Amino acid sequence: MTSEQTKPHVSLVIPVYNDREALEKAVPAASAALAVICDKYEVIIAEDASTDGSCEYAARLANENPHIIHMHRDERGGRGSALALAAEQALYDIYVYFDVDLATDIKHLKSLIYAISQGCDIATGSRLLPASDITRTAGREIKSRGYNFLVRTLLQSKVHDHQCGFKAFNRQKLLSLLPEVHDTHWFWDTEVLVLGQRAGYKTCEMPIHWRESSGTTVKQSDVFVMGRSILELWWRIHAP
């Protein structure tokens, strides 16, 4: 893809809830990267009832830059539901999202996008591939490996890391999955990956450079909810 006419068209989504400081870094970084990679693009700020100024900041950016879309909700619906709504409203057929904290190095964005343009239906960054360069606490490492082991074992997924917030999709394939996706928050990522594989969609996993962020909004209670969600999805898949 060397000519301007063959560059991809991309809708990139940044889900955000009360993270104004991170948003101020993520949006310019995303816009700068996409301007080089893409012919046409949009940055959708999926802002989910924030109360810390993220809403006002996102609205100002959207007014100043035609490439930026501010998608606001007055009541919080959850990260997963925000990503699903953005997929329905996106303009372009390559749909990308990454977490606002930029834990995954944005240098991988080009590879993620081109994986879709070259035939993958789903592309995801992985912190658990041998070639990945990650830094995080031992506690989070143990929880992540335990969680992903359960998903791979119980739900028969071939993916190593289901919860990395750095993914891209053939948008039409993603839209076909959404009616079957029940979760509206953190388990949404896992559910989409598992259902996508079961539908026969080509799923590509890539190593990344990743650094733990102190601003994560994942709570201890979310871990237990996601464990229960694994069992609920297993039952949905296997129930007669």
- Rg (Cα) of the chain, in Å, rounded? 17
Q: Which residues are catalytic?
A: 189
Could you tell me whether strands 94-98 and 68-73 are parallel, antiparallel, or unpaired per DSSP bridges? unpaired
| Mean pLDDT, residues 207-214 | 91
CB–CB of 208/109 below 8 Å? Answer: no
> Predicted confidence band at 4 (pLDDT cuts at 50, 70, 90)?
very low
Residue with token string 């991170």? 22
Structure tokens at 234: 């297993």
Is the four-CA dihedral 206, 211, 214, 220 of positive or negative sign?
A: positive
Domain 7-238 has CATH 3.90.550.10: yes
3-state DSSP percent of the chain in helix, strand and coil, to 5: 45, 20, 30
The confidence score (pLDDT) of residue 206 equals 98
Residue tagged 């964005």 (tokens): 109
pLDDT at 3: 43
What average pLDDT does range 159-188 have in this prediction? 97
Q: Give the pLDDT confidence score for residue 213 in this predicted structure.
A: 81
CA-wise closest residue to 116 among 204, 49, 45: 204
Determine the pLDDT at residue 1.
43
Provide, rounded to the nearest whole percent, the portion of the chain with pLDDT above 90. Answer: 89
> Domain map of the chain by residue range?
7-238
Q: Tens digit of pLDDT for each residue in 213-233?
A: 865 555 556 678 888 999 999
Q: Work out the average pLDDT over 100-118.
A: 97
What are the tens digits of pLDDT across the range 46-72?
999 999 999 999 999 999 999 999 999
Residue 13 pLDDT more than 80?
yes
Q: Residue 88 CB: number of other CB atoms within 10 A?
A: 10
For 142-167, the pLDDT digits (tens) are 999 999 999 999 999 999 999 999 99
The pLDDT of residue 222: 66
pTM: 0.92
Q: Chain-wide mean pLDDT for the chain?
A: 94
How many C-beta atoms surround the C-beta of residue 8 within 10 A? 21
Task: Quote the strand ranges of the chain, DSSP E.
Answer: 9-16, 40-48, 68-73, 94-98, 122-126, 133-135, 166-170, 203-207, 209-211
- Residue 43, pLDDT above cutoff 50: yes
CA torsion 177-181-185-190 (nearest 10°) is -70
